[in-house]
Amino acid sequence: MNKQRIFMTSLIAVSAFLLGAGINNIAHSEVASNINPQGIKIGVVDVNEVVSSSAQVKALKAQQDAKKKELVKWLETVKADIQKQTSQENKVKLAQKYDKELIKKQEASKNEYIKKLEAIDKSISKTINDTAKAKGYTIVFTKNSVLYGGYDLTAEIKKVVK
């Protein structure tokens, strides 16, 4: 998740809320009911918990583990192939060739991982957004940015991302 984006959105929302409601209204509002006099309904989500329970994240982790095993197996083959060479010159040339191949493999894997991670981030963000809107929440904060109050939507979101 893009924590800076979430933090900045939360910060802007809190600032607007504080300016609109006044500090005295906040202190006297019923925080436990999650609805203030202006009708703002506040929710919180433990994003880390949601991400760790996501089926998409678990699948991506399994894919990464499988790719690591494939790479280790490939490196063992490469090592054996280099050792088979009779001359030092051939060993160096082959090692350089495999180094370039390794860099390409790592770069491709990294790019694929980033794309999948971004897609998962968008999916989880959309799930949080859709759930909050369906439940009538005006503002949703990350749970670790709220000291007190707000209705915890984490369990509901986790059900959807599993």
* Rounded average pLDDT over 84-90: 90
Interval 54-75: pLDDT, tens:
999 999 999 999 999 999 999 9
Query: Which pair of tokens denotes residue 143?
Result: 């749970």
Integer Cα distance of 56 and 67 in angstroms: 16
Residue 78 has pLDDT above 50, yes or no: yes
Residue 139: phi and psi, rounded to 5, are: -135, 140
Nearest to 44 by CA among 157, 122, 126, 124: 157
Burial class (CB in 10 A: 0-12, 13-18, 19+), 68: exposed
* Rounded average pLDDT over 101-118: 92
Res 35: pLDDT: 53
Regarding predicted confidence, which is higher, 18 or 52?
Answer: 52
Mean pLDDT (the chain, rounded): 80
Lowest mean pLDDT among 4-13, 79-88, 96-105: 4-13
Res 39: pLDDT: 77
Which residues share a beta bridge with 139?
A: 42
Burial class (CB in 10 A: 0-12, 13-18, 19+), 81: middle
In sequence order, what are the residues at sequence separation of 6 or more whose Cβ sits closer than 8 angstroms to the Cβ of residue 144?
A: 46, 48
What sign has the CA pseudo-torsion 22, 30, 154, 127? negative
For the whole model, what pTM was predicted?
0.64
Regarding predicted confidence, which is higher, 9 or 88?
Answer: 88
Residue 116 has pLDDT above 50, yes or no: yes
Interval 5-37: pLDDT, tens:
444 444 444 444 444 444 333 333 344 445 556
Integer Cα distance of 132 and 31 in angstroms: 18
Question: What is the amino acid identity at position 70?
Answer: E
Please write down the HEC assignment for all residues of 62-73.
HHHHHHHHHHHH
Place of tokens 């949703």: 140
Integer Cα distance of 62 and 69 in angstroms: 11
Q: How far is CA 135 from its chain centroid?
A: 23
